[in-house]
Amino acid sequence: MRAERTRQALIAAAAVEFDRHGYAGTSLSAVHRACGATMGALTFHFRAKADLATAVCREAEALTGETLARLVPAGPLPPVAEFTLEVARLLEQEVTVRAAARLTRERAVPSHWYTLWRAALRDLVAAAREVAGAHPAPDELELLAVYLTAGAEAALRSGSTGAEVQAQLKCLWTLVHLSNECPVGPH
């Protein structure tokens, strides 16, 4: 039990370091010091920095998968919009998720974090395909959600608050919804 608590504490400390400094800027000595564990304890659990980064990504993947599986859109926004809000919330509130996003973007270790939420997004969009005349088109909806999620990640990383990012995403989804109700072009 104590060994598992130490392992989890190391993963949590590593997530903070990877989130702040990226893979190249994170050292094992910084992780064990931040955790309060010895270097021996760290190397007992993780033989190399890549193993530790992979563990951080796996934690984020599990959390993201569980969260998205429980997502039941209930607001006035379309389900894909609610999906992007939830991924943005995870990025804001969960350091392991932010660290996994950064590690994946840096291609530091093999990670399935993006693949995982993109697959869940595709499932949501597949349901939109069944609705005849859905606007925007399902493929456009998926692309928009991917870009908005990437933008939310960038905004959070640059210092925007979670509340600001949530408000911006809601505004953008409202604009998309309104543009589909209003004819565009010459009459």
pLDDT of residue 183: 44
pLDDT of residue 29: 96
pLDDT of residue 158: 96
At 23, the amino acid letter reads: Y
Look up the pTM and report it: 0.88
pLDDT of residue 79: 87
Contact 91, 152 (CB under 8 A): yes
pLDDT of residue 186: 41
Calculate Rg over the CA atoms of the chain.
19
CA 62 to CA 171: how far, in whole Å?
30
Positions of the chain with pLDDT lower than 50, given as ranges = 182-187
pLDDT of residue 94: 97
| Cα torsion 75, 64, 107, 5: sign | positive
pLDDT of residue 182: 44
pLDDT of residue 5: 94
pLDDT of residue 103: 96
Tell which residue, 10, 137, 110, has the closest CA to residue 145. 137
Contact 166, 121 (CB under 8 A): no
The residue whose two tokens read 């389900």 is: 79
pLDDT of residue 20: 96
Please list, in sequence order, all residues whose beta carbon lies within 8 angstroms of the beta carbon of residue 10, skipping any fewer than 6 positions away.
31, 32, 35, 37, 41, 42, 45, 46, 52
Tell which residue, 129, 109, 121, has the closest CA to residue 60. 109
Largest CA distance in the chain: 73
